[in-house]
């Protein structure tokens, strides 16, 4: 079984920065974080500092723990530097199959033979990503939820060729990072949570754009009627309309045409009304 000491996280965005932080803060792993431009790395490191500062001000960690966590995180633009001595590579780059496959090909050539490559993809086939490598038995899904610092669940997904050893290693690492896990035994788009959630979010967007109810009432209905902690339109703003759309498109293509995304959601992505990350989505986040 692979003993995981060093982790490389690819992508310092919304999810990557959080995963890197949890790996260093809770799992006590040495973590490299790789992104393609300095400003994205700086953005990711800034979000980690802010999050750690919030843990500190709530008394959940000490100043020494905050500094030790930051010292375990190594930002880099160099893919080789990030993965060449990693035991586990967690990929959190944008939800685009061609981009991800190109990265898997590159990582396969640079990472040690024993290293596991785990994808944080929300919907793309693990088997397809694994096919871009010569180590499909060492590729699986490791799907965190947003924000990774707070959300308890990791879905661990078996691709067609993933070995039991790989799954066990990734389950163990997830537990060491303080997470609860579920095992997805077959590689099916959307896995468990998004197969159920994304069609619901898409319907909420459709209700809004068809003018059937106001934004506040759609969110209030689901919060009070189904006991969700947050309404579906606000949740789209947190996840990102682009990510929501990308997952809906995979479900439509690969599971059933009935999952087709609403035209309103597509328009929002074209208009860059992506939610919190661009300042506006269903809600205005520029003042918050």
Give catalytic residue positions: 122, 143, 155, 194
The structure tokens listed for 162 are: 């993933």
Interface with ligand NAD includes 75 (CB under 6 A)?
no
Q: Which stretch binds ligand NAD (CB under 6 A): 120-128, 131-139, 207-215, 218-226?
A: 120-128
What whole-number distance in Å separates Cα of residue 171 and Cα of residue 154? Answer: 9
**158-182 residues labelled b (16+ CB within 10 A) or e (exposed):** bbebbbeebbebbbebbeebebebe
Region 210-239 residues binding ligand NAD, contact defined as CB under 6 A: 239
Interface with ligand NAD includes 16 (CB under 6 A)?
yes
Interface with ligand NAD includes 89 (CB under 6 A)?
no
Interface with ligand NAD includes 259 (CB under 6 A)?
no
* Residue among 61 and 198 whose Cβ is closer to ligand NAD: 198
* Residue among 30 and 95 whose Cβ is closer to ligand NAD: 95
Interface with ligand NAD includes 142 (CB under 6 A)?
no
Least CB distance to ligand NAD at residue 130 (A): 15
Q: Residue with CB nearest ligand NAD?
A: 13
Interface with ligand NAD includes 149 (CB under 6 A)?
no
* Residue among 83 and 171 whose Cβ is closer to ligand NAD: 83
Q: Which stretch binds ligand NAD (CB under 6 A): 116-124, 197-205, 207-215, 265-273?
A: 116-124
What whole-number distance in Å separates Cα of residue 18 and Cα of residue 51? Answer: 9
Least CB distance to ligand NAD at residue 179 (A): 13
What whole-number distance in Å separates Cα of residue 189 and Cα of residue 121? Answer: 10
Least CB distance to ligand NAD at residue 154 (A): 10
Binding residues with ligand NAD: total (CB under 6 A): 25
Packing angle between helix 63-71 and helix 14-25, nearest 10 degrees? Answer: 110
What whole-number distance in Å separates Cα of residue 224 and Cα of residue 184? Answer: 30
Region 28-67 residues binding ligand NAD, contact defined as CB under 6 A: 34-36, 40
Least CB distance to ligand NAD at residue 77 (A): 9
Query: Could you list the residues that contact ligand NAD (CB under 6 A)?
Result: 10-16, 34-36, 40, 92-95, 103, 120-122, 144-146, 239-240, 243
């Amino acid at each position: 079984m692979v003993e995981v000491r060093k982790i490389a996280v690819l992508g310092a965005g919304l999810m990557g920065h959080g995963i890197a932080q949890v790996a260093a803060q809770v799992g006590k792993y040495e973590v490299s974080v790789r992104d393609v431009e300095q400003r994205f790395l700086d953005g990711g490191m800034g979000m980690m500092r802010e999050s750690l500062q919030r843990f500190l001000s709530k008394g959940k960690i000490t100043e020494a723990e905050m500094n030790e966590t930051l010292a375990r995180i190594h930002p880099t633009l160099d893919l080789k530097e990030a993965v060449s001595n990693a035991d586990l590579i967690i990929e959190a780059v944008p939800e685009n199959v061609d981009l991800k496959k190109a990265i898997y090909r590159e990582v396969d050539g640079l990472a040690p033979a024993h290293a596991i490559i785990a994808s944080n993809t929300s919907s793309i086939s693990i088997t397809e990503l694994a096919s871009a490598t010569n180590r499909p038995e060492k590729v699986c899904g490791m799907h965190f939820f947003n924000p990774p610092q707070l959300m308890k669940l990791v879905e661990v997904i078996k691709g067609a060729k993933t070995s039991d050893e790989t799954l066990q290693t990734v389950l163990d690492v997830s537990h060491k990072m303080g997470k609860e896990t579920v095992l997805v035994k077959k590689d099916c788009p959307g896995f468990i949570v998004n197969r159920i959630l994304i069609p619901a979010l898409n319907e909420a967007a459709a209700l809004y754009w068809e003018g059937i109810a106001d934004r506040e009432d759609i969110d209030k209905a689901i919060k009070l009627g189904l006991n969700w902690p947050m309404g579906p339109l606000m949740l789209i703003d947190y996840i990102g309309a682009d990510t929501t759309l990308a997952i809906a498109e995979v479900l439509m293509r690969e599971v059933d045409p009935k999952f087709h995304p609403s035209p309103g959601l597509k328009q929002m992505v074209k208009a860059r009304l992506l939610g919190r990350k661009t300042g506006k989505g269903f809600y205005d986040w520029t003042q918050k």
